Structure 1
């Protein structure tokens, strides 16, 4: 049933601004970070470190197969020198209606390819209540940073503001 729902939520092609190696997007693992283009938060988070990713700009539309193959290739490279790595989905907003199908599909395909060698971390301005209400399947996500960035609550660490919630697999609800 989930796949039928997901197919109906698919919109266009993924909007991806950049795919890059990172040593700061995950709190402890080397990572491949996928920055989705477009954020549906209203108002936008004051002090967002990626305001260039706010617009749902179709110029950033990419073919999903090419994106998936590139991500799998780069994760394979990371795993040659690391026992465990992270795939980090952020943006913009990876769980916006426009990006959700693609973010979940990418997490699924990476988990099916690499299993527990890859930790999938998702950053979203949404709360867990929002995700549950919207029926978002989080089963392919291992960790999440939930909540809006609040500049006045900036921590200088992880997560970036003290109101954000960092949850690991064992803390995530199961469906």
Structure 2
């Protein structure tokens, strides 16, 4: 996985003072995307142990409320394994820090995914796609807040907190999973 930037004291991408990781790679390619430089998986620099230590050093500070993982799309196919391992480690080492994640995928698309068994996929392709959605579900379940949905330029609304267009939602993951329905963190 590559990343473009770490914002060490971010107040724009989640509640409180956060560290934000901007990963590379996104297949959504939204019209007038705020970060088109993050689309290409080859952009930025490789995420390594030094980068992880830098993030963990930030998270160890009492004044940092948590981490936001954005991009690009952290749930893009080529980011999944490293994002999953990073979030598991953060959850273990920093249980009181919140984890926010931005994705162009919708909650419904990920959480209600059904196997695409059809003549269009062979067994290997089908198993691969199924595996992608399973790891996406696991990643989401470890987060506190997910901001979902592609940016839609026609629905741009600068008055909204923590999102760019009105179709995007700020979802309370723990409450949504507990109640088996989408519970918004804010409108």
Shorter-chain TM-score: which interval? Answer: 0.7 to 0.9
Q: Distance in 2 between matches of 1:59 and 1:164?
A: 26
User: In structure 2, what is the equivalent of residue 140 of structure 1?
Assistant: 142
* Unaligned 5+ runs, structure 1: 1-13
Q: Supply the RMSD in Å over aligned alpha carbons.
A: 1.8
Structure showing greater relative contact order (alpha-carbon pairs closer than 8 Å, 6 or more residues apart): 1
Where do 4+ consecutive residues of structure 1 move more than 6 Å?
none
Structure 2 counterparts to residues 98-137 of structure 1, below 5 A: 98-116=78-96, 118-132=97-111, 133=113, 134-135=133-134, 136=136, 137=138
Distance 2:170 2:65 in 1: 18
TM-score, normalisation: structure 2:
0.75
Instruction: Mark the structure with the bigger radius of gyration.
Output: 2
Candidates 10, 13, 27, aligned match of 1:40: 27
Displacement after TM superposition at 1:56 (Å): 1.1
Q: Which aligned pairs between 1:21-170 and structure 2 lie closer than 5 A?
A: 21=8, 22-26=10-14, 28-41=15-28, 44-57=29-42, 60-63=45-48, 65-77=49-61, 79=62, 82=63, 85-116=65-96, 118-132=97-111, 133=113, 134-135=133-134, 136=136, 137=138, 138-156=140-158, 157-158=160-161, 159-170=163-174
Distance 1:62 1:169, change over 3 A: closer
Aligned residues: 153
TM-score of the two chains, using structure 1 as the length reference:
0.80
Structure 2, unaligned stretches of length 5 or more?
114-132, 181-187
